[in-house]
Amino acid sequence: MSREMLQLAEALASEKNVDTDVVFDALEFALSTAAKKKAGREHMDARVEIDRNTGEHRTFRRWLIVADEDYTYPDVEKTIEEIQEEIPGTTIQIGEYYEEQIENEGFGRQAAMTAKQIILQRIRDAEREKVLNDFLATREDIVIGTVKRVERHGIIVELVPGKLDALIPRDQSIPRENFRSGDRIRALFLRVEEIGQSGRKQVILSRTSREFLAKLFEQEVPEIADGLLEIREAARDPGHRAKIAVKANDQRIDPQGTCIGVRGSRVNAVTNEIGGERIDVVLWSPDTAQFVINALSPAEVSRIVIDEDHHAVDVIVAEDQLALAIGRGGQNVRLAADLTGWQLNIMTITEAEERHAAEDAALRSLFTEHLDVDEETADVLVQEGFASLEEIAYVPSEELEEIGFDAATVDTLRNRARDAILTQAMAQEEKLEEIAEDLRTLDGIDEDLLRDLAQAGITTRDGLAELSIDELREITGVEPGEAEKIILAARAHWFETDEQ
């Protein structure tokens, strides 16, 4: 049987184009499985060792060495004390295996069939792994395949005929795209993931990622591959509309015209590949204001106001540009916000003036109340750009004197502002003391957030839970994702109560 073993291993390795070690490993596993079935002890642990030169094999029964408190399965485990009693002076350690050679069993027809099935399955797995590794070693970012079939959970794409398939999940497929078996398809390589507990690996592709859009342009525009221009940012509403921000590394190149191509040939080629998705090519700029204006194209922006603290931009447009700036269903402003990374608030000139007037009125009221000045003096401070008591309290005296105030008035204003700040701080500390313990210890809540919530009169966990994400962002200025986590954490006890 030893010669037959060697011949079988060589034949299978040659036929399946795999290493002989893979075949020997499969044979050893198959023989150990068959040995356990033949012995009628499927729970025992057996190991078969085949000599690669002679084909002779030996069978071992083995036990894992465990501590007393972990001893559970006598068929496959022994305690360290048992081993020391059986083999005095042994140096075997916990976690190692103790083996005893047993007689090689003769294998009947059923056992041989089982062994053959296991060998073939192992070889198929090894073949699949080799094909996958070869694919991963030589693949491009964008892969081309053939649609094999369309299923509920996605599109099965054949990458290597008869050997390797990939999946485009439903959430990575462009909406309303229809493919049939045999269609050629391009997609971005996304990742390799394991399927269930079988250990089999699945290639996952995407047609909705922004990287796919960028790579398509790289294929259509040689200047990108040459480094003469680059796509700095991209945003997509897959199947509907997209925006890319481009930057020229060579001042002689027009980045927009280069990406669009003669009569739109280049951008149209990309659009046709992604289901007719309309693509806006805009200029990237390191200047936030200019980048936001470019990103909102084709709408014309009158002016913008940047709020660094809340990472937001107020965009003011003419009345006839409002619909264009927002876009159908908010699509244009949503993509522009995604492209720039800023929260964009679109408003008309009239709305901006009304908002500005309301803010001025609020400041005027703040100054008249806390600085004990008349409206005329408060107006002067507002018009000169003072937006808080802190600015008045700590601005150099010379700046206030340049406005027209004498030295005595400047000292009075600064002292009153400081007193007002101190009074507000004391009142805020009192509000902090009113905050319930379950809100203080909530995940995601820090001291700054507690102060903002207390200032808004939110002192209990339920009070926070009743807020919407937008309301929490308005109060604290946190990012949307963080606001959502905080709200969900605040509401968690509601659901626990419902379950009970």
Q: What pLDDT shows up at residue 397?
A: 86
- Which CATH number fits the domain that encloses residue 341? 3.30.300.20
Q: How far apart are CA 61 and CA 97, in angstroms?
A: 10
Question: Which residues have C-beta within 8 Å of that of residue 261, sequence separation ≥ 6?
Answer: 220, 221, 267, 268, 269
Q: How far apart are CA 294 and CA 301, in angstroms?
A: 9
Flag whether 168 is in a domain: yes
Are residue 163 and residue 61 in the same domain, yes or no?
Answer: no
Flag whether 76 is in a domain: yes
Are residue 320 and residue 332 in the same domain, yes or no?
Answer: yes
Query: Which pair of tokens denotes residue 183?
Result: 């269609």
- Which CATH number fits the domain that encloses residue 23? 3.30.1480.10
Are residue 258 and residue 145 in the same domain, yes or no?
Answer: no
Q: What pLDDT shows up at residue 106?
A: 59
Q: Do the Cβ atoms of 230 and 247 come closer than 8 Å?
A: yes
Cis peptide before 298 (omega within 30 of 0): yes
Flag whether 69 is in a domain: yes
Are residue 6 and residue 111 in the same domain, yes or no?
Answer: yes
With 0.85 as the threshold, say if the pTM is over it. no
Question: Smallest Cα–Cα separation from 256: which of 315, 201, 298?
Answer: 298
Q: What pLDDT shows up at residue 425?
A: 79
Are residue 272 and residue 349 in the same domain, yes or no?
Answer: no
Flag whether 29 is in a domain: yes
Q: What pLDDT shows up at residue 112?
A: 56
Question: Which residues have C-beta within 8 Å of that of residue 175, sequence separation ≥ 6?
Answer: 238, 239
Q: How far apart are CA 134 and CA 137, in angstroms?
A: 5
Are residue 202 and residue 242 in the same domain, yes or no?
Answer: no
Final residue before a domain boundary, out of 206, 232, 247: 206
Q: Which domain holds residue 264?
A: 218-282
Amino acid identity at 16: K
Flag whether 63 is in a domain: yes
- Which CATH number fits the domain that encloses residue 164? 2.40.50.140
Question: Which residues have C-beta within 8 Å of that of residue 98, sequence separation ≥ 6?
Answer: 62, 63, 65, 78, 83, 92
* Number of domain units in the chain: 5
Q: What pLDDT shows up at residue 388?
A: 86
Final residue before a domain boundary, out of 67, 89, 121: 121
Are residue 457 and residue 469 in the same domain, yes or no?
Answer: yes
DSSP structure string for 364-419: HHHHHHHS---HHHHHHHHHTT--SHHHHHHS-HHHHHHHT--HHHHHHHHHHHHH
Q: What pLDDT shows up at residue 1?
A: 52
Final residue before a domain boundary, out of 206, 232, 250: 206
> Strand order in 278-283's β-sheet?
229-237, 241-248, 278-283
β-bridge pairing 278-283 and 241-248: parallel
Question: Which residues have C-beta within 8 Å of that of residue 461, sequence separation ≥ 6?
Answer: 436, 438, 439, 442, 490, 493
Mean pLDDT by runs of 10 across the 500 residues of the chain is: 71 74 78 74 79 83 84 83 79 84 67 65 78 85 92 91 89 90 93 77 92 94 92 94 94 92 93 92 94 93 88 92 92 94 92 87 89 88 86 87 86 89 81 79 83 83 87 83 87 68
Flag whether 390 is in a domain: no
Are residue 102 and residue 34 in the same domain, yes or no?
Answer: yes
β-bridge pairing 45-50 and 57-66: antiparallel
Flag whether 423 is in a domain: no
Residue 236: how many other CB atoms lie within 10 Å: 22
447-455 helix and 469-476 helix, angle to the nearest 10 degrees: 100
Question: Smallest Cα–Cα separation from 28: which of 48, 2, 1, 10?
Answer: 48
Are residue 32 and residue 116 in the same domain, yes or no?
Answer: yes
Report residue 106: phi and psi, to 5°: -80, 135
Side-chain half-sphere CA neighbours of 348 within 13 A:
10
Flag whether 241 is in a domain: yes
- Which CATH number fits the domain that encloses residue 476? 1.10.150.20
Are residue 444 and residue 472 in the same domain, yes or no?
Answer: yes
Are residue 57 and residue 18 in the same domain, yes or no?
Answer: yes
Are residue 12 and residue 101 in the same domain, yes or no?
Answer: yes
Side-chain half-sphere CA neighbours of 324 within 13 A:
14
Q: How far apart are CA 355 and CA 1, in angstroms?
A: 92
Q: Do the Cβ atoms of 164 and 134 come closer than 8 Å?
A: no
